């Protein structure tokens, strides 16, 4: 049993206090003390309140003292007694920190050294020091390393074998190439071995898999905090049985570890893997410890929380033992798997241990000492009082304050959050008459700063401080709530996306000639003694078709949900007729779109230029614009001054900053003297937009009105009158704005949000309003990049694909359903003043889940919403949740698009394995819209194994945010909806007939043909894209021994089909050698065939057969594209090329080897392509 947590806690421990240490100055004090204890070779450990404080201190120390060695030791990012393991990145940081502490102890040179950690991290016991110290492996370039020895080390030290290395703790073996992502390294490392000799060590980009920097040595440490070797497993089994008695068959944790398999959440039984546990203080003996002011109190609360969780687990365990049998008919997903909690003192420090380690610790206080004897720092001036004055001049007050500080001999530093906000602040200060502004990049620049200058730096500090020698004033002190963060480097994710979205067995595909079939498998087919990889497709009636991988471009993804889709019959006429009908409709639509675009070019629109006060309006925006957002703002500005009516679509997820684009456009228009109408589909959206517009336009003299059923009759009448007489400049509302009795004095800009959600009549009315006014349309439905490309020049479009730079990544957990975790997640959100979403895949689940939640979390109010409710009722329920009348919204995936509720930051997805990847991404995107960390729990049935596809989908979602690829991936699966919304509902029907990718390809061709003026009425058809059939009598494939993972192999085949020229092919080959080692002959042949195919297309060749005696060439539809050019080339060849009666060319040759044949054919078709060039 657990020992109780003593409520007296450590408040009785009176720590000596270091006064005058506000945020910012505390970092300088840490630097000072670390330098003071350096001669004694001691480490300074600082215990911060949380990870945000650690990150802030780390940045400040790096700025003020780059010579100080700093390491951070984070806490696990999961709850005590959780079902999930901590994030692999967190574990990697923890292990790297423990290894660094051991390394510091062994170092001969002395450096000032600081370990930053949190209350939660330091209260937890850690892996024994002797275990970490004894587990390391060094590899040096030119040295020797046996593969078996390396493999054993990686397996025993917690590394996870995979096919493609992307995350810490993963490794892959491919012949003599070994990829590893060790803790303590920012990028994974690739070893190139020749036998046992290490030829090279290079880092590589996990997204592109291409190598970059060379290393001379690599030091490997454990990847996890415990290992699954035989001794550890034996210790675990013995300790588990000793604590929990007889183990039954249905204990998945015990079964997995006994079998040497990792199990999600097993980290919470960490002490059972070792004979004893150590603490962080064992790794840094004799350390000087300092702590944040409230660290003691936080430790008490943490211990209470741990004991509460332990008790909840015990209570649930006891209840489960009494209620052995679950009631019949209940959903198995509403009960949790067995969980035997480990007594908490085994993993966490108790009061006595804590007191022993921290009896001499110092506590920082931001306040001055009572007797004022010691000269510390104090918090700096905040200009909120000046900002609150109607005519307050902030920069005059700043100038006065700076002069006063300068006279006292202090250096002055202005700290901005990002480079962009620093430049914005500089321009405002220069305009206000400031001089001597100097950029400060770090400590050296700061030393050179004199008291007649003002330094400007980038530092994520919320409030400034005044120390005896230095005064720091922050952007937030001056301008108010500034929230921009320095933008993080985003990794390119194109190839990653190709790999996660590659064809999987069971997917529907569309063959350009044969229609819709189902991809069954990738098979190696032997023909005439050579091997070919082929995609096996199954059609209606069980007919099979084998498509060689070198012709994979004739296939496209069907996309969307294909369960109810009818397969085509091989050889049937239905497909060709369907394709021809869609193509004709597309041509007509493309012509229509081009006519509209051309007509718009001829119309005149009002020229609206930004007034000088526009910059002040922009300065009120409390975030840093993303690149995409800035581009969209610039596009809209250009449209408004172009002299033609704007018709621009801005596409971006909810919370990506579309509203700001609309606000700026509305400001420009309203200040120009015209009226602005903002039309939205629901009253809730109307209210959100009205609130946003009212706040931003306050004090500008621009009057904003609202029209919807939520507005009182009196207010609505006043707004209508104001629109007629021109006193209302901007109106925000639902379709009420479209009513007949609404008359505008001078409408100049129409902003439409989510136009596709309006009815047909409302769309017609919108069309009438649009005539000759500027139109800006906003949508949150992802629009695929291919579709954007197809419509270039037809529809003006701005896409915001990147989330705001200050958005905290949503912490995502994938776990079996567990009542304790669900209850804690909902209550944690409730007690921090927020709301939660609980999302079910099916309407039929809602009632069961609602009953379960009412019993499990009686403290909160729950409201349900789903698509089978009437529109009015649904909207009323959503509005009630938005207004905070309920704590939990239980809903189906109707929440995946639409409202922005910043207070909702926890989401639980029930049976997440039943959702598609894009749906999960969209649903999860409803949370994480404020400064608060958001949590998503993707649950699946306990005691049931996930399918491989569902497992992979959920794993991808866990890693998505780190790659910044979410929006593209969402659009990847939402193609049908995206196109339907953009081009009209009838186009969704066409997409369902021919599939997503082929539809987009056909649309692009139709737009291009319409531009060239092809005669559709005359029946002029657009030719199908065709793929040359090439047979060189050689094996053509990527061998399984070279690339073992089927998904990676499929994605490589698709990428190969997209290569457009020789340099691209050579670049691809270099990447393959880099990733997988020297190319096998079959792969070389495949690359040659890709090059030959490109020349064949240029030459109009659709079939080529080559053997040892020569080559036969057939033209597409037996018609060479340039007959005179062909005849001339044949004459130049002096009779070595013959034209047969069947219109095929024959060239006799003596090719003794396969290599000669491949090179000879490539040379021949290259010449033929040049001759056929028109």
In this structure, what CATH number is given to the domain that contains residue 767?
3.40.50.300
Is the separation of the CB atoms in 83 and 152 below 8 Å?
no
958 and 916 share one domain? yes
* H helix intervals, 916-974: 917-924, 948-963, 966-973
Tell me, yes or no, whether 990 lies in a domain. no
Query: What pLDDT score does 47 carry?
Result: 95
Q: pTM score, two decimals? A: 0.68
Q: Looking at the structure, tell me whether residues 446 and 359 fall in a common domain.
A: no
Same structural domain for residues 840 and 875?
Answer: yes
Which residues does the chain have with pLDDT short of 70?
Answer: 1-15, 249, 319-337, 369-375, 481-502, 559-564, 654, 756, 759-760, 771, 781-795, 803-808, 896-899, 918, 931, 948-949, 952, 956-992, 996, 1013-1025, 1174
Which residues are 1088's β-sheet partners?
Answer: none
End-to-end CA distance of the chain: 87
Q: How much is the pLDDT for 1022?
A: 52
Rounded CA-CA distance 400/432 in Å is 12
Rounded to whole angstroms, the Cα distance separating 305 from 302 reads: 5
CATH number for the domain that contains residue 356: 3.40.50.11180
CA 165 distance to own-chain centroid: 18
Same-domain check for residues 120 and 147: no
- pLDDT at residue number 136: 84
Say how far apart CA 463 and CA 448 lie, in whole Å. 24
State how many domains the chain has.
Answer: 6
Task: For residue 596, tell me if it sits in a domain.
Answer: no
Coil, helix or strand at residue 140: strand
Residues 757 and 612 in one domain: yes
Does residue 921 lie within any of the structural domains?
Answer: yes
Residue 416 tokens, joined: 């901005």
Dihedral angle sign, alpha carbons of residues 150, 155, 158, 161: positive
Radius of gyration for the alpha carbons in the chain, expressed in angstroms and rounded: 34
Q: Nearest-CA neighbor of 79 among 682, 768, 586, 824?
A: 824
According to the model, what pLDDT value does residue 485 have?
41
781 with 656: CB under 8 angstroms? no
Q: Is residue 1053 domain-resident?
A: no
Residue 1008: in which H helix or E strand, if any? helix 996-1012
Residue 730 has which token pair?
């901007």
pLDDT for the residue numbered 493: 42
Is 1072 within a domain?
yes
The predicted pLDDT at position 502 comes to 62
In this structure, what is the dihedral angle of CA atoms 829, 835, 836, 837, given to the nearest 10 degrees?
Answer: -170
Inside any domain, residue 762: yes
What does the CA dihedral 139, 143, 148, 154 come to, rounded to 10 degrees?
0
CA distance 1089 to 874: 57
Q: Is residue 997 part of a domain?
A: no
Integer Cα distance of 121 and 133 in angstroms = 20
Range of the domain at 1161: 1062-1172
Q: How far is CA 303 from the centre of its chain?
A: 34
Pair 777, 677 in one domain? yes
Residues 313 and 427 occupy one common structural domain? no
Residue 97 shares a structural domain with residue 216: no
End residue of a domain, out of 332, 364, 396: 364
* Token pair 């969307």: residue: 560
Query: At which of 436, 451, 479 does a domain end?
Result: 479
Residues 723 and 778 grouped into a single domain: yes
Look at residue 488 in the predicted model and tell me its pLDDT: 42
Place of tokens 């993972």: 1045
Residues 772 and 915 placed together within one structural domain of the fold:
no
Q: Do 298 and 435 share a domain, yes or no? A: no
> Residue 502, SS3?
coil
**pLDDT in the model for residue 897:** 55
Are 299 and 418 contained in the same domain?
Answer: no
Classify the C-alpha dihedral 467-471-474-477 as positive or negative.
positive
- Burial label for 811, CB within 10 Å (0-12, 13-18, 19+), is middle
Quote the tokens at residue 636: 């809209």
Contact between residue 676 and residue 670 where contact means Cβ atoms under 8 Å apart: yes
Q: Is there a domain that residue 386 lies in? A: yes
Picking from 935, 963, 991, the residue at the C-terminal end of a domain is 963
Residue 144: give its domain's CATH number.
3.30.2060.10
């Amino acid at each position: 049993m657990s020992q109780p947590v003593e409520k007296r806690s450590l408040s009785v421990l009176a720590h000596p206090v270091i006064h005058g240490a506000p945020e910012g100055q505390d970092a300088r004090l840490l630097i000072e003390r670390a330098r003071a204890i350096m001669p004694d070779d001691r480490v300074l450990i600082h215990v911060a309140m949380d990870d945000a404080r650690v990150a802030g201190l780390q940045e400040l120390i790096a700025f003020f003292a780059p010579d100080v060695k700093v390491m951070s030791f984070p806490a696990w990012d999961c709850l005590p007694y959780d079902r999930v393991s901590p994030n692999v990145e967190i574990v990697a940081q923890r292990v790297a920190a423990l290894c660094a502490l051991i390394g510091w102890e062994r170092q001969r040179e002395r450096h000032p050294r600081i370990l930053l950690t949190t209350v939660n991290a330091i209260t937890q016991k850690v892996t024994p020091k002797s275990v970490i110290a004894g587990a390391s492996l060094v590899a040096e370039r030119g040295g020797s390393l046996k593969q078996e020895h390396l493999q054993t080390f990686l397996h025993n030290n917690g590394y996870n074998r995979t096919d493609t290395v992307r995350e810490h703790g993963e490794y892959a073996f491919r012949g003599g190439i070994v990829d590893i992502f060790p803790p303590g390294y920012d990028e994974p490392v690739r070893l190139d071995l020749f036998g046992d000799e290490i030829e090279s060590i290079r880092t590589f980009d996990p997204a592109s898999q291409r190598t970059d920097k060379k290393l001379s040595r690599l030091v490997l440490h454990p990847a996890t905090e415990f290992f699954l070797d035989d001794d550890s497993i034996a210790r675990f089994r013995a300790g588990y049985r000793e604590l929990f008695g007889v183990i039954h068959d249905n204990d998945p944790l015990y079964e997995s570890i006994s079998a040497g398999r990792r199990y999600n959440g097993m980290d919470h039984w960490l002490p059972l893997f070792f004979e004893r546990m150590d603490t962080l203080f064992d790794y840094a003996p004799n350390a000087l410890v300092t702590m944040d002011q409230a660290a003691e109190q936080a430790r008490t609360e943490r211990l209470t929380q741990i004991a509460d969780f332990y008790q909840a687990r015990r209570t649930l365990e006891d209840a489960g033992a009494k209620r052995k049998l679950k009631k019949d008919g209940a959903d198995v997903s509403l009960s949790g798997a067995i969980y035997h909690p480990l007594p908490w003192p085994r993993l966490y420090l108790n009061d006595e241990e804590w007191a022993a380690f921290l009896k001499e610790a110092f506590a920082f206080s931001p306040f001055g000492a009572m007797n004022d004897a010691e000269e510390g720092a104090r918090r700096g001036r905040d200009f909120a009082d000046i900002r609150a004055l109607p005519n307050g001049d902030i920069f005059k007050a700043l100038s006065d304050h700076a002069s006063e500080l300068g006279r006292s001999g202090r250096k002055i530093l202005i700290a901005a959050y990002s480079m962009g906000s620093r430049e914005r602040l500089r321009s405002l200060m220069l305009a206000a008459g400031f001089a001597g502004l100097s950029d400060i990049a770090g400590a050296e620049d700061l030393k050179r700063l004199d008291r007649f200058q003002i330094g400007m730096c980038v530092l994520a500090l919320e409030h400034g401080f005044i120390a005896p020698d230095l005064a720091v004033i922050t952007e937030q002190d001056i301008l108010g709530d500034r929230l921009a963060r320095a933008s993080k480097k985003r990794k390119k994710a194109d190839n990653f996306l190709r790999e996660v979205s590659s064809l999987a067995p069971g997917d529907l595909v569309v063959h350009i000639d044969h229609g819709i079939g189902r991809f069954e498998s990738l098979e190696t087919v032997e023909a005439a003694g050579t091997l070919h990889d082929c995609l096996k497709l199954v059609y209606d009636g069980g007919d099979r078709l084998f498509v060689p991988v070198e012709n994979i471009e004739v296939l496209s993804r069907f996309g969307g949900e294909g369960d109810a889709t009818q397969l085509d019959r091989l050889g049937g006429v239905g497909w060709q007729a369907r394709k021809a009908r869609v193509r004709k409709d597309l041509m007509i639509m493309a012509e229509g779109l081009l006519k509209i675009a051309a007509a718009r070019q001829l119309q005149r629109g009002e020229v609206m230029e930004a007034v000088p006060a526009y910059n002040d309006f922009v300065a009120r925006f409390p975030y840093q614009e993303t690149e995409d957002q800035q581009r969209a703002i610039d596009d809209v500005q250009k449209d408004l001054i172009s002299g033609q009516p704007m018709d621009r679509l801005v596409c971006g997820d909810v919370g990506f900053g579309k509203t700001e684009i609309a606000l700026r456009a509305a400001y420009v228009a309203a200040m120009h003297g015209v009226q602005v109408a903002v039309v939205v589909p629901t009253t809730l959206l109307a209210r959100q937009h009205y609130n946003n517009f009212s706040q931003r336009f306050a004090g500008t003299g621009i009057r904003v009105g609202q029209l919807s059923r939520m507005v009182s009759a009196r207010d609505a009448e006043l707004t209508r009158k104001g629109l007629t007489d021109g006193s209302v400049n901007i109106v925000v509302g639902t379709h009420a704005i479209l009513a007949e009795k609404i008359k505008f004095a001078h409408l100049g800009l129409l902003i439409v949000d989510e136009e596709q959600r309006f009815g047909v009549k409302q769309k017609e009315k919108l069309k009438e309003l649009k005539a000759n006014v500027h139109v800006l349309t906003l949508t949150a439905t992802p629009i695929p990049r291919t579709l954007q490309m197809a419509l270039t020049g037809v529809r003006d479009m701005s896409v915001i694909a990147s989330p705001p730079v200050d958005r905290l990544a949503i912490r995502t957990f994938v776990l079996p359903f567990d009542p304790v975790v669900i209850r804690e997640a909902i209550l944690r959100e409730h007690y921090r003043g927020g709301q939660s979403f609980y999302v079910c895949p099916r309407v039929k689940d809602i009632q069961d889940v609602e009953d379960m939640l009412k019993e499990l979390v009686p403290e909160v109010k729950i409201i349900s919403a789903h698509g089978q409710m009437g529109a009015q009722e649904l909207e009323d329920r959503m509005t009630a949740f938005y207004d905070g009348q309920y704590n939990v919204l239980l809903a189906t995936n109707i929440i995946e698009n639409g409202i922005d509720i910043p207070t909702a930051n926890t989401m639980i997805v029930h049976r997440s394995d039943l959702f598609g990847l894009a749906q999960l991404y969209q649903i999860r995107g409803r949370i994480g819209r404020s400064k608060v960390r958001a949590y998503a729990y993707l649950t699946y049935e306990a005691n049931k194994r996930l399918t491989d596809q569902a497992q992979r989908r959920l794993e991808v979602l866990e890693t998505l945010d780190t790659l910044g690829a979410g929006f593209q991936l969402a659009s990847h699966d939402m193609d049908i909806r995206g196109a339907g919304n953009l081009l009209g509902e009838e186009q969704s029907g066409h997409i369902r007939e021919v599939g997503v990718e082929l539809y987009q390809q056909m649309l692009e061709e139709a737009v291009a043909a319409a531009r060239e003026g092809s005669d559709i009425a005359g029946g002029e058809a657009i030719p199908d894209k065709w793929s040359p059939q090439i047979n060189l009598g050689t094996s053509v494939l990527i061998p399984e021994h070279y690339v073992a993972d089927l998904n990676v192999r499929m994605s490589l085949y698709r990428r190969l089909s997209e290569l457009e020229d020789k340099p691209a092919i050579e670049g691809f080959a270099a990447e393959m050698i880099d990733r997988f080692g020297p190319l096998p002959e079959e792969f070389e042949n495949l690359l040659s065939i890709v090059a030959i195919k490109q020349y064949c297309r240029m030459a109009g060749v659709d079939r080529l057969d080559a053997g040892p005696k020569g080559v036969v060439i057939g033209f597409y539809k037996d018609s060479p594209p340039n007959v005179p050019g062909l005849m001339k080339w044949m004459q130049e060849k002096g009779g070595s090329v013959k034209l047969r009666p069947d219109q095929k060319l024959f060239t006799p040759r003596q090719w003794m080897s396969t290599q000669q044949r491949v090179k000879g054919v490539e040379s021949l078709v290259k010449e033929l392509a040049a001759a056929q060039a028109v």
